[in-house]
Amino acid sequence: MSTSRSLNKVMLVGNLTRDPVIKTTSSGATVCTFGVATNTTWKDAESNLQERTEFHNIVAWNKLGEICAQILSTGMLVYLEGELRTRVWDDDSGNRHYKTEVKIDDMKLLDKKDKEGVGLEEARSNDSADEPGSKEKEEVKKVEKKVEKAEVELKPEPAADEKEIEQDADDLF
């Protein structure tokens, strides 16, 4: 008997596009949602610099959700790690809706905690007197190394109670 394996792993470094919103499910679980934008740049055939921005819906559960709600705000640069999840629901008119989200299991703040709502570029310009080995730059380098050396982790199916909590959360959105 053979088993097939798959991987659903997301790693993002981006800026918050909206403040975290925290809610509690009817079963008592905490869920926090917020948005993150990532940018990609490249040169086109005429050597003009092009940029594309992707917007991601982020969901954090329980203790991680509480932490995100307490320390994150719009504009902050974060490293997020998790998996893609797509929710499906029908509205009152019978129209089917889909929403793809990143359910995170790790978050690292890449901005200074006392710099609310600023991205790393602004933090770097404000800290231009700092030496090249500043704490923010070191954190970014650590994350870049982690992304480069990402190891494949296969996780077991979530426990039945986690599935129940996530189904309960569909009522919140």
Q: Give the tens place of pLDDT for each residue, 146-171.
A: 544 443 333 444 444 555 555 555 55
Higher confidence at residue 140 or residue 78? Answer: 78
pLDDT of 119 reads 42
Q: 7-11, 47-51, 126-130: lowest mean pLDDT where?
A: 126-130
pLDDT of 72 reads 95
Q: Write the CATH number of the domain with boundaries 10-42+50-172.
A: 2.40.50.140
Residue 105 phi, psi dihedral angles, 5° rounding: -125, 0
pLDDT of 118 reads 44
- Reply yes or no on whether the pLDDT at 122 is more than 90: no
pLDDT of 160 reads 46
Higher confidence at residue 9 or residue 162? Answer: 9
Q: 104-113, 132-141, 144-153: lowest mean pLDDT where?
A: 144-153
Mean pLDDT of 16-33: 95
At position 97, the amino acid (one-letter code) is: H
d(CA 137, CA 105): 23
pLDDT of 120 reads 39
Mean pLDDT score of the chain: 79
What does the pLDDT look like over 40-95, one tens digit per residue? 999 999 999 999 999 999 999 999 999 999 999 999 999 999 999 999 999 999 99
- Structure tokens given for 93: 């008119």
- Reply yes or no on whether the pLDDT at 10 is more than 80: yes
